[in-house]
Every structure is written in structure tokens, then in C-alpha cells.
Amino acid sequence: MSLHPSVRRFDCLAVRPWRRALLGLLLALPVAAKDEAEREWDHVARLRREAGRPARSRPVDPVPADRAEADRRRRVQEDGARRFREVARTARDFAARHGSHPRAVDAAKVAILADLEGILPRDARHAADARSAAEAFRRNPRHPAAARAEVALALEQREISRRTLGRPWHAQPVLAEGMLDRLRGEFGDRAELWQAGLTLAEGAACDAGREAAQRVYQAPGAAPGLRAAARQVLERHALVRQPLALTLTPAGGRPTALERLAPERTVLCFYDAERQPLGPPGLHALAERPPSRVRWIYVAVGRPAPVPKGARARPRPNGVLCLEPAGWRSPVVSTLRINQLPYAFVLDERQRVSGYGRVSEIPALLEGIGRPILP
């Protein structure tokens, strides 16, 4: 029986086992290479997750409360920089080894973002290299617009921090709003920019926070979750000029109406009882020179942690300590739309909210800087 030549060639292979084994090996090489690339990318992604910050972490006061807090932040910064630099090295290696892989551009973006996060104040060479690489990526039209916008946002945020001697970008509302406007002009209406706008709204005090939240809430391109969070900021600002009908519980006492605890101008200072068992941080300067005719009420949010043996309470103006053991589920915290601790509200003689902000902003709020003027 005669066979077609192609069939005879197949039959020839079939009777030679070594050829069949060689063919199988050749066919398996691309699969093995793909599996290796996927494993390496998974390693990059894992390192990035371990080094990264939570996506929706609560804002913190940009001013350290004391020397111990400043030292702790420095150690955290240095450890974080080390982790991010390792992420950058691993991602760059992936992009170099697998240039045709679909994740190659993502790896290049991850490397640039990690290098920006790895900047330390005294390492000018690394900072210059990281900014140069980020600017080149941002200007390269071959990269996806979403990736370029993400890199541009990180680069601009770092620039604001550099220009303001290391303060967080969202602590500078004027500079931050200008940055977001420029980036919208460059990249259009993007989700990353509205997320940054929400971060600004949640961290800024009074009118600056309201204006940033209003922009996010009214933006058609903002995700529903972002708009809901922006609405919380707007609801907090709506408390301004309104009297607070709150009930607080002094330590060792009974629930008491706020109007009985605060018959005069009052600072209502909330702090995390579990993380700050020694009291609210950042008030030592006000303890040395307490403002005249101002009453202080401190509200410990959550269940207090044990006080370390021999530890002394942080210096602060004399005042009344109240307890909110329910923590973030407390009705008082919910009513005031508090999203970070420590946090402060300034009340006038009729218990109307005249301003709110971070603890470091209390002196300005008492002077009427950065808050609305009440009629």
C-alpha cells in the first residue's frame, strides 16, 4: 500500500523514539520559558505587595509628635526605602530578561515607582537617577497612558514633598490642587487622579478639604466609592457653624452633655487610646504656653492599652479626659466623620464647630487661620 509522502515522514518519526523525544523537548521549551517568566513576575508582585502601603490607609499628621516619634518614622522610612529598592532591582531584571513579555512595561513602571519610593533625604544620587528615569517614562508615548499618568503622579507628589522640606504632598492643598490640574490637562480624566484628590480632601483642614472633596464628588469620572468617601468629608464640613449635641463620658464618670463640659471656647482632641496610651501626641508646645480662656477635652478612642512601666504621660494642657471604648464604631466618631487620629475640633462658646484639623494645626485653628470666620 502506498502512502502520501507526509504520512511516510510522520511514520518515519514514529519508529524513531529519539526523534519523538527531541520534538517533544523543542515544543516544551516555549512553555517552560513562559512558566519561568510567570514565576518571576509573581515574585516581583509579591515583593511589591510586601513593600507597599495599604491602598486606603488612614491619613496621619505630617508633623511628628516628639523626638521619639520622629526617630520611629525615620527608621520606618529607611526600612521602607530598602524594601522598595529591592523591588526596583527585581522589576528591572525582569524587564531586561523578558523584554517581549506582556508584563515588561508593567515591570518597568514598577521599577520606576519603587525607585521613587526608595528615595532618602541624604541620597541625592539615587534621587536624581530615580527622577530622571521617571521623567523619561512619563514622556515616552509608546507606554500606555495609564502607566505614564501613574508615574507622573508619583513624580509630582515627590516634587511637592521635596520643595516643602519633606512634608507630605497632601499637606499642601494649593500646590496639590495645581499638580492635579496639570496632570488632568496632560492625561485627561483618570481614576488615579481622583483617588489622589480624595487623599487631599481627607487630609486637608476645613475649607481646603471641602473644596477638594467637592471636586471629587461632582466628577463624573470618579468611582462611586471615591464619591461616597468625598461625601463624608463634605458632611464633616457641614458641621461648621453648627452646635454639637454630643454626649461624652468622662473617665470614671457618667455620660455628660457636651454643653456642660464645654461652656467656653474648647478644643476637642481625639486620639487613639490603643496606639497612644500615654495620651495625644504633639501638644508639648501648647502645654508650655497654653492658650488663655480655652478649655480642653481629650477623647480616648478605643480601649486604652496598658501604660508601659515607668512611662510618663505626654505633656498637654490641663483638661478633661473622656472615653469612647467603641473605637471607630463610636457614635461620636461617626457623627464627626473622623477618618484619622489624632484629630481636633475647635468649638466656640456656644459649642459651634469653628474649625477642625490635625493636632499640629490647633494653634492656627485657634487663631482663625485656615478655618471659616463665624458670624
Read off the pLDDT of residues 315-360 as tens digits, 9 standing for 90 and up.
899 999 999 999 999 999 999 999 889 999 999 988 899 999 888 8
Q: Nearest-CA neighbor of 37 among 112, 105, 107, 94?
A: 94
Residue type, 236: R
Q: What pTM was estimated for this model as a whole?
A: 0.73
| DSSP-based helix, strand, coil % in the chain, nearest 5 | 55, 10, 35
According to the model, what pLDDT value does residue 374 have? 42
Give me the CATH code for the 247-366 domain, please: 3.40.30.10
Q: What angle do CA 77, 82, 87 make, to 5 degrees?
A: 120
First to last CA, the chain: 108
| Residue 356, strand partner residues | 345
Alpha carbon distances (Å) from 37 to 41, 45, 96, 144, 250: 6, 12, 11, 21, 60
By the 10 Å C-beta count (0-12 exposed, 13-18 middle, 19+ buried), 367 is classed as: exposed
pLDDT score of 101: 86
Q: Which parts of the chain register pLDDT below 70?
A: 1-34, 52-66, 369-375
Write down the pLDDT at residue 54: 43
214 CA to centre of own chain: 20
